[in-house]
Structure formats: C-alpha cells, structure tokens
Amino acid sequence: MLEVQHLAVNYRGVCALENVSFRLEPGQVVGVIGPNGAGKSTMLKAILGLIPARSGVVKFRARSLKQQLQQVAYVPQRSQIDWDYPITAWNVVMMARTRHTGWFRQPTCQSEEVVAAALRRVGMLDLRKRQIGELSGGQQQRVFLARSLAQEAELFFFDEPFVGIDKKTEEVIFSIFAELKAVGKTLLVISHDLGESLSQYDNFLLLNKQLIATGSRQKVFTAANIQEAYGYNLNWFAS
Ligand SMILES: Nc1ncnc2c1ncn2[C@@H]1O[C@H](COP(=O)(O)OP(=O)(O)OP(=O)(O)O)[C@@H](O)[C@H]1O
C-alpha cells in the first residue's frame, strides 16, 4: 500500500500543495485530476522526493518510500524531457536497468532481454537504434513507457502520458496499464482530458492545492466536488 500523510509543498513561500493525505491499495489505476496549477505534478514530484516537501510522510509497504525509490517508475511530462539529448531509444530504456547492472558496467544478458521485451511490448523494437529526437510524439511516449516497464517497479507515476500522441499509442498505453494493474501494480496517472477514457480508471484523486475528493468515479465526480475544484460545473463528468 502507498500511504501519503499530510503532504505540503511551498514554492518560494507560496503554497502549491496543502495537507494531502491518501492511501492506495495495490492493483489499480488512479487518475490524478484537477485544474491547471492544481499541484498535480508537484504532488508526484514531492512523493518521489524530487522537490522538497514542507511537511509530510510517504510510505510504501509501511516503509519510507525514500529508502526504496527503485520501486517507482516515473514518466515525467513531455515538456520536462530534453528531446535533443543524443541517445537512442534502446539506451533510454536501458537506463532503467542501472539499478540491476550498476553504472559503468556492461549490461547483463538479462537486462538486454528485459529491454528488448519492453520495446517489443510497446511496438518499438524495430526503431530501437533511432535517436529519441527523431521519433514522433507517440513513439517517444512508447519508449518512455518501455523504460518504465524495464525498471520492473511496483509503483508507476505518469505525468500527462496522453499529451501529443496518436490514438494507437493511447490504446497501447491503456492495455499496458491494464496488464500492470492485473499483476498488482499501482499506477498514478495525471490526465487532463479524461473524456471517453474515464472508465479506464479505478479511482481518482481530485486536487486543487488540497485533496478535494478521492475514491470511485461516483464518489469523486459530484457536482459539489467539481464546483469546488474547477469553480464551475462540468456536466459531462457526472454522466
Ligand atoms: N519550480 C516552480 N517554482 C515556482 N512555482 C512553481 C514551480 N513549479 C510549479 N509551480 C507552481 O505551483 C503550482 C502547481 O503547479 P503544478 O505544475 O504542480 O500544477 P499541475 O496541477 O500539474 O498543473 P498543469 O495541469 O498545468 O500541469 C502552480 O501555481 C505553478 O505555477
């Protein structure tokens, strides 16, 4: 179980996240939603310790998550990735294996097999020698998805994985989410545009600096919660 208690973040004295607490059981896909600037990315980064929290405790399987960050595969927002960095698709995915092989060591045969299997799973094995900057948005997202698979983590954090991708890649991503969930992994997925994909998620965290609601679609998407988070009513959410 992932447990977040009283997480709070300030940026230069300005509060971005306030007193966020929740628990997630394994084996589910959780949508993190809320308006622009609600603190969704901030929350994921603070859980991972990538930015300092003003307060809060994050535990995974009853131990501090900080002591076991190798259990988390994190795919950041597209805009946070340097697409001009000279690296092949294969090597992006191989980066996930450093914990298994160590830095400056030749990858083991097992790592090579895991990397090949992950690239094959997302349909990118044939393009493994391409520089990431030479791939389409959907192909780039698939490579980062493969990297998260190759890490063999327990928790998966995706920040806006559906931005700038094609329909086919969206289907690949959702089918992999379903597979990961079926083997007991926990997925936290920030998504702006839930639209038709709402049914792909088991539960939701609705944020606007504070956690406004958490739980099932029925529990979270009430008129009152949407009003509180977005300041207006979004009828299609409730349908
Ligand atoms: N590095 C930073 N320094 C200062 N303020 C920041 C920084 N990163 C984010 N913020 C601010 O913190 C707030 C939360 O930002 P965050 O990116 O977490 O929101 P978000 O919900 O992910 O937004 P979006 O949906 O637009 O990606 C915003 O007001 C943002 O301007």
Extract the tokens encoding 226: 């949407």
* Amino acid at position 197, single letter: S
- Whether 140 is in a domain gets the answer yes
107 is a domain residue? yes
Assigned domain for 116 exists: yes
Q: Mind listing the pLDDT tens digit for each residue in 210-239?
A: 999 999 999 999 999 999 998 876 655 544
Nearest CA to ligand 1 atom 17: 41
State the total domains in the chain. Answer: 1
125: CB partners within 8 A, 6+ apart: 116, 119
Which residue's alpha carbon is nearest to atom 16 within ligand 1? Answer: 39
Query: Could you give the C-alpha distances from 57 to 30, 64, 131, 138, in angstroms and in order?
Result: 20, 8, 39, 35
| Nearest Cα residue to atom 5 of ligand 1 | 11
138 lines ligand 1 (CB under 6 A): no
CA-based torsion, 209, 214, 219, 221: positive or negative: positive
Q: Give the confidence band of 101 by pLDDT, cuts at 50, 70, 90.
A: low
At 13 the pLDDT is 86
The residue whose CB lies within 8 Å of the most ligand 1 atoms, and thus the one to mutate among 12, 40, 189, is: 40
- Boundaries of domain holding 191: 24-49+69-238
Judge whether residue 18 has pLDDT over 90. yes
Q: Is 220 strand, coil or helix?
A: helix
Strands 155-159 and 186-190: parallel
Q: What is the whole-number distance in angstroms between the Cα of residue 190 and the centre of ligand 1?
A: 13
pLDDT at 164: 85
Angle between helices 109-121 and 137-150 (to 10 degrees): 140
Residue 63 lies in a domain: no
Q: Please, what's the largest Cα pairwise distance for the chain? A: 56
Q: Is 208 in the pocket of ligand 1 (CB under 6 A)?
A: no
In a domain, 3, yes or no: no
Put simply, whether the predicted model's pTM sits higher than 0.80 gets the answer yes
- Ligand 1: residue of 10, 32, 36, 42 to mutate (most ligand atoms within 8 A of CB) is 42
Q: Domain with 76 in it: what CATH number? A: 3.40.50.300
Q: Which atom of ligand 1 is nearest to the CA of 190?
A: 22
Q: Is residue 231 part of a domain?
A: yes
Cβ burial of 159 (10 Å; 0-12, 13-18, 19+) is buried
Tell me if ipTM is over 0.90.
Answer: yes
Q: Is residue 177 part of a domain?
A: yes
- Cα gap 170→173, rounded to integer Å: 5
The rounded Å distance from CA 10 to ligand 1 centre is: 10
Report pLDDT for 130. 96
Cβ of 36 less than 6 Å from ligand 1: yes
